[in-house]
Structure 1
Amino acid sequence: MSFRVVRQSKFRHVFGQALKRDQCYDNIRITKSSWDSTFCSVNPKYLAIITEAAGGGAFLVLTLDKIGRVDRDAPLVAGHKAAVLDIHFCPHNDDVIASGSEDCTVKVWQIPEGGLRENLTEPVVNLVAHQRRVGLIVWHPTAQNVLLSAGSDNKIFIWNVGLGEVLVEIDSFPDIPLSACWNRNGSRIITSCKDKKIRIINPRTGDVIKTSFAHEGSKPVQVIYLKDGKIFTTGFSRMSERQYALWDENMNNIVINEIDSSNGVIFPFYDPDTSIVYLCGKNIYARVCLLFIFQGDSVIRYFEITEESPFVHFLNVYQSSQPQRGIGWMPKRGLDVSTCEIARFYKLHQAGLCEVIPMTVPRKSELFQVDLYPDTASDIPALTAEEWFEGKDADPVLMSLKECHQNSQLSAANKAAKKPNILAKAIKKPLSGSSATSVGSRSQADTNSSSVTQENAPTAANIQNILDDIRKLKIIVKGHERRIKSLEDKVQFYEGQKNDSHI
C-alpha cells in the first residue's frame, strides 16, 4: 500500500534570489511616512518610489534599465503640496501613474517617453473631491480610465479619469477605509475598514451588498479578491498574532491560520495565473526618544490556493537580513519567461536600496513552459469607462507570453557576434582588357547589390516592433469578435421579439 506524503505541486520549489547590488537601484531617499502603503509601483517600463521631500510631496520614476546609484538630483514627479501616500501605474497605459496625497487630491501623471529629464510638476488630470488625505488608489482591472480613491474623510470615490469626473461617491464607512480591491471583471469591490468590518460593495451604485467581521484584532486588515470570487484577508487576532484567512464569496470562513506574533502589516500579492499568494510584511517606522527605529519583516511567504483541503498550502519563504520598508510587484507581462520567472519583487530597504528579487521555478529545459505561463492579462482595456458605468462587465483581455519568449530569443540571436567567413569570396586575379572591365563591373555590381541588401535587411528592432504590432492586433481582433457576437445576439433577440409581436 502506497500513499502520498508530500502534496504534488509544480510550485513546490519556487525560490527567490536577490540580484547583486549593482543590478539594483541605490541611493534613494525613501519616504519616512508611517502610512500603511507599499510606497512603490512598477510596470514593464518604469519603477516608481515615493521619496522624502521637503516642502511638498514627490516620487521618483526611473526606467528599469537605470540600475545602480541614483543621482541625488534626479528629476522627480513633484506636484503635490503635501506628502504622497500611495502611487499606482495604470494597467492599460504604462506611461500613466496616479498618486494620492495628504493634500486631499489625486493626481494623474503622464511620464514622457524615455523617462523624466526634469521635474514633472503639472499633472494631466487633477481629481479633487476628498476633504481629507487620500491614502489609497486602485485602478479598475478591465475598464479604461476608471480609478478608485479612498480617503480619511471615510469616503470612496470612483472616477472617470478621462473626464476628471466623479462617477460614484460611496459614503458607507464609519471610519477610514484601509484597503480595497476590485474583483476580476470589476463588477464588485471589497473593502476593509478601521471598524474591523469587510464590505462587499456594488461600485456603480455604492450599495453595500454584504458586511462581515474578518479578524478580531484592532490593527489594519488587508483584503483582496481571488479569480474565482473567493476572498483572501490578512490581519491580526485578539492577541495581536498575525493571521491570514480564506473566505467564500458570501464571507463564510473557509480557513484561518496564524502566521507569527510580529506587528507589521502584511500586504498580499496575488497571481491569478498560478493561484499563488505572496505575503509581504512591512516594517514599522517608529519615533522613540527622538530616534527613528525600524522594526519589522524581512521575509516573503508564499502559498498556493487550491480546492483541496487545507485550501491554502504553504510553499516556501524568502528570507533576507534586512527588513522591507515597502515593496513593488511586477505585472506578469513584465517578467522574464526565458528564466522561468513567475514573480518579481522590488524591495525597499531603509538605507535607500531598492532590491530586485525574482521568483523562479527551476526547470532544465530552455523551451517556453506552457504550464507555468497560461494566457495573462494584457494592457488592452476590455471596456471604456462609459460602457462600464452603463452596466457592462468583461474579464481582462488576455495575451500569450510565448511571443515574449520568442522575442527574447530573437534578440539574443541577433546580439550574437558573427565571425567573418574568409571563404565567402573567392580570391580573383586581376585581368586585362575588356575582361578586366567586365569583371570589375560585375564586382562593382556585386558590391552595390550586397550594400543594398544590407541596407534593406530587417533589424532586430524592426522585427520586434512588427511582432509587438501583430500581438496587439490579435488582441484587438479578439475583442472585436466578442463585441460582434454580442451585437448579433442582441439583433437576433430583437428580431425574435418583433416576430412574436406580429404573430
Structure 2
Amino acid sequence: MHSEGSLLFRDNIPCDPKANVLRTAQSEKLPVPASLKNICFLNHQHAPNGRFVRASKYRHVYGQHFKRELCYENLKPTLSAFDANIIKANGKFLSLNSNGIGAFTIIPINETGKCPDKVPMFRGHTGGSVLDTDFNPFDDYKLASSGEDGKIMLWEIPHDYSYIHNDPENIVDVKPVGTLVGHTRKVGHVKYNPVAANVLASSSFDYSVKIWDLEQKKCVVTLKHKDLVTSFSWNYNGTKIATASRDKKLRVWDVRSGELLSEGPGHAGAKSTRVVWLGNTERIATTGFDRFSERQLGVWKADKLEEGSIGGLYSLDASSGVLMPFFDLSTNLLFIAGKGDGNVRYYEFENDELFEISEFQSTSPQRGFAVAPKRSVNVKENEIDRAYKLTNDNSIEPISFIVPRRAEMFQDDIFPDAPSAVPALTAAEYFGGKTVNGPLLLSMADIYEGVEPTSVKESSPQPTAAEPKKEEPKPTPVAATSATAPNPDPVPVIKSEPVKEEPRPALTVGQEKGVDNMLKGKSVNALLEKVNNLSDDDTQEVDGSDNEWEQERPKSASIDSQTVKKAESKPVATSSPDAATPVQVEPKTPVNEPIVKEVLSTPSTKPSTASATATTTPKSVASKIAGATGGFKQHVEKLQTLVDKLEAIIEKLVESDIEKDERLKALEDKIDALSKK
C-alpha cells in the first residue's frame, strides 16, 4: 500500500472509501454523487483501475534538493501574517521580506551558506512591513516593493552589491530611487508587465488595482473592485489582468481601457483565492477553498467566467494552507506549493485540462515559494525549472525539477524558446495602444552553449480553438467534355436538371469502363451472338431507334460544331445515377478483364443479326451528336440513356450465363445417373 496525494492505493487500485464509491459507480454505470465527481482523480490521470498512464514528455519530471552548503541559512524573514509569497527570484538575486519596519533583503544567488548577523538592508518604507516585491523582467538589477505604508518604491541593486562579504562595522543600507503614491491603504501585491518596459500593476486594501507608468511615475488606469483583491495575474501579451477578490468573484479586465471584460463566481470558501494566467491561452487557473475548507483547483475560460470552471472544481485535500500557483510558459507545467506543506504538486495543462504529473515530497514545510525565470536553469542537466522555498527554520532551499535523460546534446523538445530580458514595447507604445503577440523569445540552445543570446524573436499569435466544420452542400451534377484529359480545351459547363434516384446499377464504375472498351473490341460479336442464342428478346433493347432518342427534354444552351467534334473523339463513361459527382468524359482505360472473361466464359459461333447493330452503336451515337441541332446537354443525356441500356444487357448476359451453366450441370448429373444404371 502506498499513498498518492490524498488517496491510498493497494496494487494500483484506490482503497480510500470515497475512491471505492466512485470506482463502483463508474463500473456499474450508476450516477456519481456530485461531491465525489472530482475528489479522487484529476481529469482521468489516474483511472479507477490504476492502469491508465498518459503520454507526456514531462511524465517523469522529479524534484531534487540542493546540498545543504548550497542553501541560504540564518535568515530573518518577515513575521507578517499577510498572504504573500514572501520571496521572489530572478535568476541572479533572491528577494526576501525581512522582519523589521520597512525593510527587505536581496541575496545574490551565488552567495550561499550561512549569512552573517549584520547584512545590508533595503530600507525606505515607513510605518509597517514590506508586503511584496517583484523584479523587473527586463533588468535584473531593478525591482519594486510595496508595504503597509500604502507606498510603492522602486529600487536599483548596486553592481558591486554583496550580501555576505561586507565589513560588519560599516554596513550601508540601500535607498529607493523612486516612490509611487496613489493608494490610500496598504499595498499588498506588485507585479511587472510581461511585455512592456516600465509598466507595473499593484493591488491595495482600498479595493483597487492600479496600472503605473514608471517613466512618468503616475497612475494611468485604476480598476475598482467591491472587496479586497487577494491575487491578480497578467495575461501572455500584457493587455489583460485576471483578479480574484474576497467577495468570491473572479474578474478579467482590459488594462488600458479599464473595461471589465468578464466576471463570474469563484471558490466558495472564505480563505484566499490565487489566480494565474495559463500562458498564451484564454484560460486561467485558480486555487482556493470550498465552504467546507477543502482545497480546490480549477480552470476557467477567461472570456466566459460566468460559465463556471471547465469540468468543475477539483478537490485536492483538506489542509488549511493557501495554495500558491506558478505556471511555466515554455513547458505548460503548473506548480502548486501549499503553505505549511512539504510537497509541491505539478500538473501539465493541455486541451483545457490539468493532468497530474507527480509531486516533489519533503519533510520540511514551506512558508514561501518562488520560481526563477527559465533563462536561469541548468540546461546541460536537463533542468526545466528551478524553484526556491522558504522553510520554517529560516532558510531558503533551492529545488531543481529535472527531466531524466542521458543524451549528450541539447534537448530542443523539452526546451522551447523562452521569454527573454528584452522588452517588446516601451511604456509609451503600450499606453498608446500598441499590442504584440507576447514577450520576445530567446533560444535555449544559446544558453546550452554557454553564450549570451544574440537574437530574439517575436511570440507566435495565440492559438484559436478549431471551429466545427460545416457540411458543404452536395455539388449538382454537371456535364463537361473532359475533366481528366491533359491540356483540355475550355468548354462551357452546363448544369443539368436534378435526376431522380434510381436503383444502383449492377456494375461498378470500373466495370463500366471495361464495357466501353469491350464494345469496341472484336469479342463483342461473339458476345451478342451468345445473347441471340439465349433469348431473342434481349437484343431488342440494344436497338437505338429514333423514337427512343427523341424524348422531350428542357431546352439548354447549344455548343459549336468544333466542340462537338472534340467530344465525339473521346469515349464517354458515366457513374451511377444516384452519385453526387459530376458526369465526366473519361480517357481511354484498359478493359476490365475479369468481367469480360466472366461474360465470355462460354464461346458461341452462331452469327447474329443484332451484332451488327450493337457494334455500330458508338458510331451511330457519334453521328447523332455531330449532326444534332439541339443542345449539347440533350446529347449527353441520350448517351447516358444508351449506356444504361448496355449495362442492363451485360447484367442479363451474366445472369443468362449462370443459368446456362446450371442447366449444363443438371444435364451432366442426369447423364451420370443414367450411366450408373
Same fold (TM over 0.5): yes
Separation (CA, whole Å) in 2 of partners of 1:57 and 1:352:
19
Q: Which residue of 2 aligns with 1:215?
A: 267
- For the 8 Å contact 1:77–1:119, the answer to whether it is kept is no
SS at match of 2:317: coil
Q: 1:216-231 residue pairs with structure 2 within 5 A?
A: 216-227=268-279, 228-231=281-284
Q: 1: CA distance between counterparts of 2:117 and 2:154?
A: 25
| Residue identity opposite 1:204 in structure 2 | R
CA distance in 2, matches of 1:26, 1:140: 32
Aligned residue in 2 for 1:168: 221
Residue among 298, 304, 309 paired with 2:342: 298
Taking the TM superposition and a 5 Å limit, the aligned residue runs for 1:200-349 are 200-227=252-279, 228-249=281-302, 250-251=304-305, 252=307, 253-255=309-311, 256-282=313-339, 296-307=340-351, 311-349=353-391
Residues 126-148 of structure 1: CA distance to partner in whole angstroms, max 9, x if unpaired? Answer: 00111111001111000000000
Conservation of the 8 A alpha-carbon contact between 1:339 and 1:366: no
Select which of 220, 242, 247 maps to 1:195.
247
- Which consecutive segments of 4 or more residues in structure 1 shift more than 3 A? 116-121
Give the secondary-structure state (helix, strand or coil) at the position aligned to 2:69.
helix
CA distance in 2, matches of 1:15, 1:48: 26
Matching of residue 141 in structure 1 with residue 197 in structure 2: no
Instruction: State the SS of the aligned residue for 1:147.
Output: strand
Q: 1:114 to 1:361 in 2, by over 3 A?
A: farther
**How far off is 1:381 after superposition?**
0.3
CA contact (8 A) 1:344 1:356 kept: yes
Q: Does 1:51 align with 2:98?
A: yes
Aligned to 1:354: 396
Q: Which is richer in strand?
A: 1
Any residues of structure 2 matched to 1:28-43 within 5 Å, and which? Answer: 28-43=75-90
Return the offset for 1:303: 0.5
Q: Which residue of 2 aligns with 1:400?
A: 443
Q: Measure the CA separation in 2 of the matches of 1:23 and 1:312.
A: 33
Correspondence for 2:132 among 61, 82, 86: 86
Q: Residue 222 of structure 1: CA displacement?
A: 0.6
Give 1:59 shift: 1.0
Q: Which amino acid aligns with 2:412?
A: V
CA distance in 2, matches of 1:339, 1:259: 32
Segments of 5+ residues of structure 1 without an aligned counterpart are: 283-295, 408-466, 483-503
- The one-letter code of the counterpart of 1:109 is W
Matches within 5 A, 1:488-503: none
Query: Which position in structure 1 is the counterpart of 2:116?
Result: 71
What secondary structure, in the 3-state scheme, does the structure 1 residue paired with 2:202 have? strand
1:200 Cα deviation from its structure 2 partner: 0.6
How does 1:103-142 map onto structure 2 within 5 Å?
103-116=149-162, 118-142=171-195
State the AA in 2 paired with 1:7.
R
Query: For 1:399 and 1:104, how far apart are their aligned partners in 2?
Result: 37
| Distance (whole Å) between structure 1 residues aligned to residue 370 and residue 118 of structure 2 | 23
Question: Shift of residue 114 of structure 1?
Answer: 3.5
- Asked if the contact 1:125–1:161 (Cα under 8 Å) also holds between the matched residues in 2, the reply is no
Secondary structure, counterpart of 1:388 in structure 2? helix
Partners in 2 of 1:229 and 1:65 — Cα distance? 38
SS in 2 for 1:97: strand
Equivalent position SS for 2:291? coil
Tell me if the contact between 2:120 and 2:174 (Cα under 8 Å) persists in the aligned partners.
no
Indicate if the aligned counterparts of 1:59 and 1:84 stay in contact, CA closer than 8 A: yes
> Secondary structure, in 3 states, of the residue corresponding to 2:449?
helix
Q: Please tell me whether residue 151 in structure 1 is matched to residue 204 in structure 2.
A: yes
Give the one of 66, 75, 79 matched to 1:19.
Answer: 66
Cα distance in 2 between the residues matched to 1:366 and 1:79: 49
For residue 5 of structure 1, report the CA deviation from its aligned partner: 3.1
Q: What residue ranges of structure 2 are gaps of 5+ in the alignment?
A: 1-50, 462-677
Q: Secondary structure at the residue paired with 1:403?
A: helix
Aligned residue for 1:238, secondary structure, equals: coil
1:386 alignment partner, SS class: helix
Counterpart residue identity of residue 42, structure 1: A
Structure 1 residue matching 2:65: 3-state secondary structure: coil
Query: How far apart, CA to CA, are the structure 2 residues paired with 1:211 and 1:165?
Result: 28
Instruction: Provide the C-alpha distance between the structure 1 equivalents of 2:158 and 2:213, rounded to a whole number of angstroms.
Output: 22
- Computed over aligned residues only, the root mean square deviation of the Cα atoms, in angstroms, reads 1.5
The AA in structure 2 aligned to 1:398 is: L
Equivalent residue number for residue 427 of structure 1: none
**Higher relative contact order by CA 8 Å / sep ≥ 6: 1 or 2?**
1
Instruction: State the one-letter code of the partner of 1:202.
Output: D
CA contact (8 A) 1:224 1:232 kept: yes
Paired amino acid for 2:347: F
Instruction: Check the 8 A contact 2:278/2:329 in 1, yes or no.
Output: yes
SS of residue in 1 equivalent to 2:366: coil
Per the TM alignment, residue 366 of structure 1 is displaced from its structure 2 partner at its CA by: 2.6
The answer to whether the Cα contact below 8 Å between 2:123 and 2:176 also exists between their aligned partners in 1 is no
Give the Cα separation in 2 of the matches to 1:226 and 1:380: 21
1:288-324 deviations in Å (ceiling 9; x for gaps): xxxxxxxx2111000011117xx21111111111110
Report the Cα distance in structure 2 between the residues aligned to 1:14 and 1:69, rounded to whole angstroms: 30
Contact 1:61 1:115 in 2 (8 A): no
Q: CA deviation at 1:121?
A: 4.1
Aligned to 2:603: none
Count of aligned pairs between the two proteins: 395
- Local SS of the residue matching 1:233: strand
Q: Which residue of 2 aligns with 1:424?
A: none
Give 1:428's aligned residue. none
Q: Report the residue type matching 1:16 in the other structure.
A: G
TM-score norm. by structure 2 comes to 0.57
Larger Rg: 2
Q: Report the TM-score, using the length of structure 1 for normalisation.
A: 0.77
Displacement of 1:26 in angstroms is 0.4
Distance 1:62 1:135 in 2: 22
- Could you tell me which amino acid in structure 2 is paired with residue 267 of structure 1? M
Q: Are 1:381 and 1:396, in contact at CA under 8 Å, matched by a contact in 2? A: yes
